[in-house]
Structure 1
Amino acid sequence: MKFNFQKNILGYFQFYYSVVGYRIILYMILSVLVSFMDGLGLAMFMPLLQSVSDGDVNAGKESLGYLHFITSFVTNLGFDLSLTVVLFLLITLFLFKGLFKICAG
């Protein structure tokens, strides 16, 4: 059995699209969402570790660098950055990541 596809990324994509169908696009989107949630969850470990070590979660802007928008978003929602809020946010992010991973198969 000979497969007819080009040996470049577009040829491989067309081959897998002919085999799997529209689900390949869904898998790709879910993989990107899982990666994004994993990155956010790992970025939230910094405020969590700072709150455990010295009790000051608000010092996270310096340590997070360009990712301080995460903690700013939480404070703009009206939540104080306490150990409980950061831990709950971490658990929620990793639960969503697991849900996306389960949906991806």
Structure 2
Amino acid sequence: MTTMRTLIEIEMDTATANQAIADGTIEASMDKMMEMLKPEAAYFFARMGRRAALLVVDLPDEAAIVPTLEPAWLNLNADVTMTPCMNADELRTGLSRLNGS
């Protein structure tokens, strides 16, 4: 089965994230998303004063975008960007196809 490696960039609304931390729901949301997505890589940091995360995940198809985003990230009033991405080996394969090799 072919998957689509995808970079998910998340920036959480500060007030919403603060409330989720205060009421304890952010940990459950993060645990649920990490279990569902099983990211290849996950990094959490501050970006311009907002809580942010970068996740690299494999999505089975475009329709997977909806259940990937809806359950937790949008409930946190987060700005989310999804970008198809590749590793170095996949880039090499793609470049070789340009030359017909």
Tell me the TM-score normalised to structure 2 length. 0.27
- Greater strand share, structure number: 2
RCO (CA 8 Å, sep 6+): is it higher in 1 or 2?
Answer: 2
Specify which structure has the higher proportion of helix. 1
Query: Which structure has the greater CA radius of gyration?
Result: 1
TM-score, with structure 1 as normaliser: 0.26
